[in-house]
Amino acid sequence: MATGGGATGGGTALDTWVCGGCTNASDMNPGTQALPLKTIAQGLHNATAISKAVVSVAATSKGQTITYAEDVTLIAGVTLQGRWAVDAQGAWARTAARSLIVDTAPTGVKAPAGLTSSAGLDGIAVQQGGNGTHLAGITISASAPTLADFEVRPPSGIGTPPESVGIDILGTSASLARPTLTGSTATPSLVQIGPGTSSSIGIISVNAVVTITSVQSTGGDSSTLSVGALLTESPGSVISSSTFAAGVASSCAGLALRGGVTGTQVTGVTASGCGRPGIASSTTPKSTTGLSFDACTVNPGSAAPLVSKSTITAGLATGTGSLAIGVTATNGCNVRFDFNTVTGGNGGLLGNPETSVGLACSYKTITGGTGTDSACSVTNSTITGVGTGATASNAVGLLCEGTCATGNAQCRGSCGEVNTNLISSGAGSSMAHVAIRDSSPALARNRIGAGSALLTQCPLNATVVGLSIADSASSVVNNFIIGGPCSAAVGVSHSVSRRSGDNSVASPTFNSNSIVSTVAASSAAFGSLVSVGVDLTNGSTSGAQLNAGTWWNNVIAAGGTGLGANATQVAFRESAQNVDPVELRNNVFHAYGVNGTQQPNLYLNENNAMLHTAGNINGLMDVPSSGNLAGDPAFVSLSSGDLHITGNSLCRGAGTPMSALPNDIDLDARPNPANTNPDVGADEIP
C-alpha cells in the first residue's frame, strides 16, 4: 500500500489522495491514503503546496461509484490520475473504471493557458454539469496538457444547449494550443457528447497543433451541424488510430479540417458522417461527409497534408438536393490520399442520397460554384461512390472538378496524381466511376469499374460511364476502364470545349489503356441498349471545329453477348460532325455481340459514316491514323473485369514503340521482350 508524505501543514504531513466517497474523507485531512481528501480542488491545492506531480482520485469506495461534482481547473505539472478503487479496509488499488467528474461550470474541466504536457488527466471521465448556451466537457486554452485514458460523457439532466462540445481547444495565432489526446488500442479514450439545438461537436480545435491517438469521438444530434472532430487552423496536427463519427443533423462530418493544414497527418482513422435518421433525431440529414478538407493554407515548400490507411464513409443523407461524399478536398486543399478505403453514402430508413460521391477534389459540387482548385493526389486506394445496398440518383466514384473552363491553357484544375486505385461508382440511376471536369490529373494504373459489383447487376434503365472526362489535358495511361453492363454504357465519354480565358482547347493523351463498354444479354428487358467504347462529343455551343485527344496503343471495345439488331454498339463514336481526335495510332477496336455476317461497328465518323474495318479507320482523312487493328483482344475474363490479355491476343506486339511506356498496369516491364513493339492495352504479357 502506498503511503502519504511530503511537506507539513498545521503539523500534519500533506499528500494528494482524494476519495470523495470515503466516510472518513475531509478537506481538513492531510490527503494520505488513510486520511484522504474529499475534493479534487483540495488535492490540487495540496499538490501545489508540496510539488507533487500526481493527484490520485478514487473512482470507487467499497464498490460504490464516486462522483465529484465540482469545477476543476488543472494546474502546471500535475496530473489527475483516476481508476483508483478503495476497499472496505482502506486499501487503494488501481483497478476501477475511470473516476468521474461532473463539472459544474459551462466550460467543464479547464486547462488554462501555459500548461505543458506534464499537466493533464489520466483515467478520468468528465461529464458536463453546468448550464449555458455553449457547453463543453473539457476546455483547453493555449496550453499543452496530456489527456490520457480519458472520457467525456454526455450531460444528464441539464437540458439541451444551442452548442454542445466535448473538448473545446482554443489557442491564438501567436500562441498555439498543443494538447495530446490519447488512449490505447485495447482501451481507447472516448468523447461522446450530447445533443445541441444548433450544433454538437465532439472535439473542436482552433489555432492548435493537436495530437490524437486511439480516441473515439462522436458528435451528438442537432438541427444544423454534427461533427466528430472539427480542426481549424491546426497545422502539424497528427491524428492516428482513432474513430470519428457524426450524430444526426442537417449537415454532418466525421472529421473536418479547415485552414492551415501544413504537415497535418491522418493515419489509420475511421471516419463517418451522419448517423441513422429517424431513430435518435427527427432531423433529416441533407449533407454528409466522412472526412473533409476546406479552404486549406499550406506554407510554400512545406509538407502537404496526408491521409493514409484510413477507412472513410459518407454516412446517410436523403431527400431532394441531398449530398453524401466520403472524402472532400475543396478550395486549395492539395491533400495526399494514400492506401485508403473510401465510400460515399449509404441507404437509410428514409431513403438514399440524391448525389453520392466516394472522393471529391472539387469546389463546384460542394460550394455551389465558388472556390479554388484542389490539386490532391489519390493513390493505392479503394473508392466507391455509393455503399453496398444503397443507390443514388447520381453516383460517382472519384470526382476531379476544377476551374479551367474560365482559365487558360496552363490551368490544371483539381486532382494531380491518380495512381493505382480501384474505383467504382456503386449503384445509381446515372453513374460515373471517374468524372473529370475542367481539370487535368494524371491517371495511371487504375482499375476503373474493373472488379465492380456493376459487372453483375445494374439498376433498371440506368446509365454508366467508366471515365467521364471534359475540358481536360489529362495523361491517361495503363488503366483498365469498364463501363457496364447497364442498358446504356460508355467506356470513356470525352467532351471537348474551349476555355474562355484564351480560347484554348485542352487535349488529353490516352496511351495503353484497356477500355470496354459492355451490355449484358440480361439487360434486354430494360429497353433499348446502348454500348459505346469511346464517345467523343463537342461541349461548346459555338459549333466550331474542335480537335482533342491523342489515342495510342489502346484497346477500345463495346457491345455485349446476345444483343439484338436494334442495339446500339460502336467501339468509337464521334457524336458530332465538328469534333475529331488529334491522332489514332496502333489501337485495337472491337465490337462484341456481332452475329453471323453482321459487320462490326468500329468507328462512327462525323456522327454519320460507320466504319467497319481497321482499314477504314486507318484511311480516315481528317485524323492522322495508322497501325490500328480490329478483333477480339482476348481478355482473360471480361465477365469478372480481368482485362489482362492472353498469349494468343492480337494485341501482342501490336503497339507503336514511339510512345511506349516503361511499365504496364502491373509494373511489368514494357515492352517484353525488350527492343520489340509493346502490347496494345494496359497489360504487357511478362
30-53 pLDDT, tens digit per residue, is 999 999 999 999 999 999 999 999
Strand partners, 588: 555, 629
- pLDDT at 366 (0 to 100): 66
Q: What is the DSSP letter of 250?
A: S
pLDDT, tens digit, 9 for 90 and up, residues 152-204: 998 877 778 899 999 999 999 999 999 999 999 999 999 999 899 999 999 99
At residue 488 the predicted structure's pLDDT band, cuts being 50, 70 and 90, is confident
Task: Identify which has the larger pLDDT, 1 or 620.
Answer: 620
Task: Identify which has the larger pLDDT, 362 or 492.
Answer: 492
- Taking residues 55-72, report their average pLDDT: 97
3-state secondary structure 569-600: EEEEEECCCCEECCEEECCEEEECCCCCCCCC
At residue 530 the predicted structure's pLDDT band, cuts being 50, 70 and 90, is confident
- pLDDT at 4 (0 to 100): 40
pLDDT over threshold 90, residue 423 = yes
Last residue of a domain, which of 166, 188, 215? 166
Domains contained in the chain, number: 2
- Residue 238's CB is within 10 A of a number of other CB atoms, namely 15
What is the spatial distance between Cα 535 and Cα 480, in angstroms, rounded to a whole number?
Answer: 17
- pLDDT at 610 (0 to 100): 93
Contact assessment for residue 642 and residue 633, using Cβ atoms and an 8 Å cutoff: no
Compute and round to an integer the Cα radius of gyration of the chain: 31
pLDDT over threshold 50, residue 5 = no
Share of the chain above pLDDT 70, in %: 91
- pLDDT at 155 (0 to 100): 86
pLDDT over threshold 60, residue 262 = yes
Last residue of a domain, which of 132, 166, 200? 166
Strand partners, 297: 260
Q: Residue 205: helix, strand or coil by DSSP? A: strand
pLDDT, tens digit, 9 for 90 and up, residues 633-683: 999 988 788 999 999 999 999 999 888 899 999 999 999 999 999 999 999
- Taking residues 561-578, report their average pLDDT: 80
Burial class (CB in 10 A: 0-12, 13-18, 19+), 180: middle
- Taking residues 609-617, report their average pLDDT: 95
> Does any domain span residue 272?
no
- pLDDT at 8 (0 to 100): 38
> Does any domain span residue 86?
yes
At residue 233 the predicted structure's pLDDT band, cuts being 50, 70 and 90, is very high
Question: Lowest-confidence range among 135-144, 447-456, 544-553, 660-669?
Answer: 447-456
Task: Identify which has the larger pLDDT, 159 or 120.
Answer: 120
- pLDDT at 594 (0 to 100): 66
Return the percent helix, strand and coil in the chain, to nearest 5: 5, 45, 50
pLDDT over threshold 60, residue 120 = yes
> Does any domain span residue 510?
yes
What is the spatial distance between Cα 440 and Cα 423, in angstroms, rounded to a whole number?
Answer: 18
Q: What global pTM score does this model have?
A: 0.94
- pLDDT at 301 (0 to 100): 73
- pLDDT at 311 (0 to 100): 98
In this structure, what C-alpha cell is assigned to residue 377?
493526389
> Does any domain span residue 91?
yes
- pLDDT at 559 (0 to 100): 80
Task: Identify which has the larger pLDDT, 292 or 155.
Answer: 292
Q: Which of 3-12, 105-114, 444-453 is predicted most confidently?
A: 105-114
- pLDDT at 561 (0 to 100): 58
- pLDDT at 611 (0 to 100): 95
What is the spatial distance between Cα 532 and Cα 383, in angstroms, rounded to a whole number?
Answer: 24
Contact assessment for residue 210 and residue 182, using Cβ atoms and an 8 Å cutoff: no
- pLDDT at 11 (0 to 100): 41
Who contacts 423 (Cβ-Cβ below 8 Å, separation ≥6)? 358, 382, 383, 384, 397, 398, 433, 434, 446, 447, 448, 449
What is the spatial distance between Cα 366 and Cα 125, in angstroms, rounded to a whole number?
Answer: 38
Last residue of a domain, which of 147, 166, 185? 166
- pLDDT at 93 (0 to 100): 97
pLDDT over threshold 80, residue 601 = yes
Identity of the amino acid at 8: T
pLDDT over threshold 90, residue 348 = no
> Does any domain span residue 581?
yes
- pLDDT at 2 (0 to 100): 42
Residue with the three cell numbers 463546384: 364
Tell me the residue range of the domain where 652 lies: 440-686
pLDDT over threshold 70, residue 526 = no
φ, ψ dihedrals at 617, nearest 5°: -65, -45
Task: Identify which has the larger pLDDT, 404 or 7.
Answer: 404
Who contacts 312 (Cβ-Cβ below 8 Å, separation ≥6)? 254, 269, 270, 271, 272, 290, 291, 326, 327, 340, 341, 342, 343
- Taking residues 539-545, report their average pLDDT: 79
